[in-house]
A = this chain, B = another copy of it.
Amino acid sequence: MTEPDGATEPERAVPESRGVSRRGLLGLLGAGAAGAAAGFAGGAATAGVALTAGTHGGGSAGASVFPFYGAHQAGITTPAQDRLHFAVFDPDAGLDREGLIGLLTDWTAAAARLSQGLEVAEGGAVGGSDYAPPADTGEALGLPASGLTITFGFGPELFETADGGDPFGLAARRPSELVALPRFQGDALEPARTGGALCIQACADDPQVAVHAIRNLSRIAFGRATLRWSQLGFGRTSSTSTAQTTPRNLFGFKDGTANIKAEEPGVADEHVWVQPGDEPAWLADGSYLVARRIRMVIENWDRVQLGEQEQLVGRSKGEGAPLSGGTEFTEPDFEASGATGTPLIDPASHVRLAHPTMNGGARLLRRGYNFVDGNDALGRLDAGLFFLSFQRSPEQFVRVQTSLAADGLNEYLKHVGSAIFAVPGGVAEGEFVGQRLFD
């Protein structure tokens, strides 16, 4: 995936041209299927960035298959899939360095298979012994890979436990920037949705496929690590490819118009990927992931007049154009003013405060999802944005979030969960994810 000149290409989708699915592979399990899987995994990609429009068998969307192995982990610059299951784990008491390496090795093997549309292990849900639990939980049998990517990250607590312990001998290798995020204006963090030692981001175009991945990886961790918190997202709120349309968040506005796109490899190197000269060396080609559960008070927002909604955001609601004029992708002009001399884009608007020019050039690769988790006791939907961003340094996020302290939108949202992870670089065949951390 890395060109000789160091430029990085976005992950590419392999059209599932042979109609391979978990069902199709049921009859093939064994050497043949292993060969087919290696064929996919080994970089058989030949097409350009493909969205998940491929269908096969008439009706089943999401036939894309993304390579698991590569210079970077998939699921970052990969064109954002439609659905998310995100899970955070804590190591169980008694897990030691070898145990952790074992877990990461098992997770890697499973993720490599799952992302190719295979069952989690040979033997699968129906191919093993009648007298053993099935290797795979089975609910994705017959479903295509659906663009599944599985991305792993390491939280601060992997390097130092809450009581100052270092069970994995990793304290000296901790990235100096991998610390809990500072408290921001308006934070109302719930401990049950905050922090954690290990994370797995599963994105797919079929939620059943994403859920299946997290469930099976959780199961593999049994006795070694325990799920601490998790979050489903039903709709992507950002594009990470110029080939994707910009989706809408639950404020009803297009979100992520100015996001970093896979088609800008130079930009990704500058803003997303930890570079070879950066510290620590083991994190090169990786990134930092920030996760924030942002509850939106949508019932109140829905009573705000259109003009004020647009003023708070700084863009029009329909087109998503900056209020300084043009269309969605026109660069906002923060100097433009109307007939009365008032700036067309309010100085306290979200688009201005989040803009790189206000944040020392900081840009984020956003990859968040809308969520609705039922409702609260007052009959308000428990809805909002599960914000995910990848950046070369956590400082980028801190700058933007600090700037947003003045954001008028804060009246309509509340950050209730927060976590940060170091996302190691990609995996080569025969390695486990994050292996360089342990070298």
> Footprint of B on A, CB under 8 Å?
26, 51-53, 55, 58-59, 61, 83, 85, 125-126, 128-134, 136-142, 192, 206-208, 211, 214-215, 218-219, 222, 226-232, 234-235, 245, 247-253, 298-299, 302-307, 309-310, 316-318, 370, 372-375, 377-381, 383
Contact = CB atoms under 8 A, between A and B. Distances in A.
Given A227-B381, A234-B208, A128 B252 contact: no
Given A234-B207, A249-B139, A252-B141, A134 B374 contact: no
A416 to B, nearest CB: 13
Contacts of A52: 59
Interface pairs A-B: 10 shortest CB-CB: A138-B252, A130-B307, A126-B318, A53-B59, A227-B379, A207-B234, A226-B379, A208-B235, A61-B61, A139-B248
Contacts of A379: 218, 226-228
A385 to B, nearest CB: 11
Contact of A375 (B55, B227, B306): B227
Contacts of A375: 227, 229-230
Contact of A318 (B130, B141, B208, B245): B141
Given A134-B306, A207-B235, A379-B228, A245 B142 contact: yes
A383 B227 CA distance: 14
Most buried by B among A52, A249, A373, A378: A373
Contacts of A316: 126
18 contacts: A55-B55, A55-B61, A130-B306, A132-B305, A132-B306, A133-B304, A138-B317, A139-B249, A139-B251, A207-B235, A208-B234, A208-B248, A211-B383, A215-B381, A218-B379, A228-B379, A230-B372, A230-B375
A308 to B, nearest CB: 8
A83 B234 contact: yes
B133 A372 contact: no
Given A55-B55, A230-B381, 9 more contacts: A52-B59, A55-B61, A125-B318, A126-B306, A126-B317, A138-B253, A139-B248, A206-B235, A373-B373
B139 A252 contact: yes
By DSSP majority rule, is chain A's interface helix, strand, loop, or mixed? Answer: loop
Nearest to A87: B375
A407 to B, nearest CB: 19
Most buried by B among A61, A129, A229, A377: A61
Contacts of A247: 208
Contacts of A138: 248, 251-253, 317
A298 B211 CA distance: 12
Nearest to A140: B248
A298 to B, nearest CB: 7
A282 B229 CA distance: 48
Contacts of A140: 248
A317 to B, nearest CB: 5
Contacts of A304: 133
B299 A134 contact: no
Contacts of A253: 138
Nearest to A249: B139
Contacts of A235: 206-208, 211
